[in-house]
Structure 1
Amino acid sequence: MKIAFIVNNFPVLSQTFILNQITGLIENGHEVDIYAAPSNELIIHSDIKKFNLMQHTYYFTTPSKNHLVTLFRSLTLTLLNSLKYPILIYWLINGINYTKELSLPVWMIPYRAIPFLSKNPYDIIYCHFGPNGLTGALIKKLGLTQGKIVTSFHGYDITKYVEKFVKNPYNNLFEVGDLFLPISEHWKKKLLDLGCNEQKIIVHRMGVDCNKFSFTPRYPSGDGQIRIVTIARLVEKKGVEYGIRAIAKLAKANKRIEYNIIGDGSLSTHLQEIIQELGVESTVKLLGWKEQDEVVEILNKSHILLAPSVTSQDGDQEGIPVVLMEAMAMGLPVVSTQHSGIPELVQDAVTGFLAPERDIDALANRLSYLIEHPELWSKMGRAGRKQIEEYYNINKLNQQLINIYQKLLN
């Protein structure tokens, strides 16, 4: 099969779930091209070079935040390419016929269409995140592909993004698109609520490569320290503030706790201020962004992973955090929240514990119970590893994805 991935930015270190799908499809003998906005990340995953992915990546021109500049660039792109592709002028003049009900302005046509004009046909256009599905639908409406349009929904694209519109922005995508792959049963229900045809929906989860995460049962350390870790972008929906406040409650009575937070983001300064306000500088450490091997080393030394996800004020939600899958694959018991699709991954009181969103006391109680019952660590860790191997193993999931594609094409 010849498959085009449409993603937000590429390459992005934090989106290994997309990279694992791309490399898995290539390893199974399929051709993959990637369409995205440029990434400003300086460090890239080793698989990018291993699979020569940059040679198969095509970038969209990035619109300006200034609408007049965006319109001017659109006209410029059209004129510069019209000698080779005169149909661009026709599309722009008649653009409303293509963009109507796609929640896309007419002047976006050259931004999205030009990279596809010189390419051979694809069997599948696989769009990660709903707004990219709208691009896939536009490409099909313009006649640039006869391939099947498949869209995965992850989190913000079916919460925060939808709430920006008076009408459902995906109505036309639901008609034009061929298949929709929400990453959880939770998001399947949301798609149904939005009016998507159930016959077009298949839950397809993201996963991790179990071979890259060695399982190690967790036991108390000889030095008596309890090492808890959070790995997350420092943004509201990750709920890190609630993790810090829960740890602060425990640290008053238990000086053996170490809480390391790996990640960076817009809330970094705010979180450091909370740490100082609570007087837990010696317990809670913001370690910033770390390389993957450093992250694995910290996880290997940790006893519990804390992922206190919440729904942000603007409605943004998680999907199912990949870091939870990685930690469970490595044998860590986890404490998380009853948020989005997380309860589909974390079995409460089996592979870890779940607390209500933003409930600091409940988080503290779950953590305290785990700390006081270290005999549960290895038991929960083994159950977590089994859960990942059975349901979130990227190799199994990639084969399922191939089967889904082949069935769709047939």
Structure 2
Amino acid sequence: MNVSQCLLFRKKDNPNGGATLLELLLGSALMAFVVSMAGWGLVHILATDQKASAKETIQYNSNRALEFLTDEIKLGRKIDSDAVAALAEAPDFTLPDGAKPIVVFQVPDVPQRVIYYTRPIEEGEVWEGPDVLERWGPRFNEEGQYDETEINNPENWESSILIDSIDNTAHTPTCDTDWQASNPNSTEGFNACVNSEEKLVKLHLATTIDNPTWHNEINYQVETTAFARSNLTQGFTEDTPIFSVSNKKLMLEKPATVKFEVLGGEITCGAGGVEIPVETNLYIDETKHSWDGDSPLNLPNQSAGTTFDVESIAGNGSICNKHNLTASSADPDSPQLEVLVNGDPVPDVTPFADQNTIEFFLQEYIKDGKINIAENQVIYLFELGSRDKGSSAFDLQDNVVLATVESAN
């Protein structure tokens, strides 16, 4: 009789003797298998649920991000077809290392460009990688409009992340005929094509997210087209330009309130000589309007189509060898007057003798060598000492005037 026969005989002989060691081992193994299978099933269910939830989240976030971007583009006047070159129109913005500008656009009454760009995440950041999409521009208030306290202070604008989990797979966008990739270099999960009129932009966004328990990553792509509605501003009101400047003449395009003020100026009879008096006049529809240049001139409720010309006269014929010289915006060919708007370069001229520079009189209105004023303002620079651009007296700071146009509505 072998051992197994002995065990079997013992069990038959004593049915209440309990399980054998072999039975216990077999039972434990079976129980472990059942528990492990149940555990694997539970893990699989949880992973599947987590993956489905992540897919839903990434789709929602991607769609919402493009919706936010397209809504802001609607406020724009134009979308720059070359996002890299357009950064020059935002001197207060510094592109982070490794970042790529993708969508850059101009919004009426906003002094610098609004910029959307991608960048890789940095070590220690809480955001999901590999890249993020960031926005630089004025903040929005609770009503969903630009914060008025920030619009004209781009030095205070900050970047904020719109969405993370941007794919970093290299991709060169293929644009239709007469469309241009906003960033001609190879981009990653976000790129754009702009039409030749710089009014339409096609956006492509690719997001990705991964987890070791899923075995494969989740990828999501979405595309849309946005339109810069030049006839709309924030708040969806009519954006017919308030005014235009043509041949140095300012003309209202719609009813407005206009203010003119003299910012300063300096002209003397020779180096260190006596000051030459300067008179500033305003012509409304070519009719002279009374104005004491020592105080701002406010003109409410001016009708559309009204034209304005600023005139400066230096000297009254009683001093400095009867010096008397006039310059006016009514003369579009006059070299003695520069009419400047936001973003124009400051004329590169040297002041006569030891007189103050243009930058001195415009110190609040210049940034990085360019005029930094609101879109509804105009600056007039008068030269009243000489008609000759080659003369040392030609310095365009003899009289400096600022005009501000506010919509009557």
Normalising by the smaller structure, the TM-score range is: under 0.3
Which of the pair has more CA radius of gyration? 2
Which structure has more RCO (C-alpha within 8 Å, separation ≥ 6)? 1
Higher strand share: 2
TM-score, normalised relative to structure 2: 0.27
TM-score, normalised relative to structure 1: 0.27
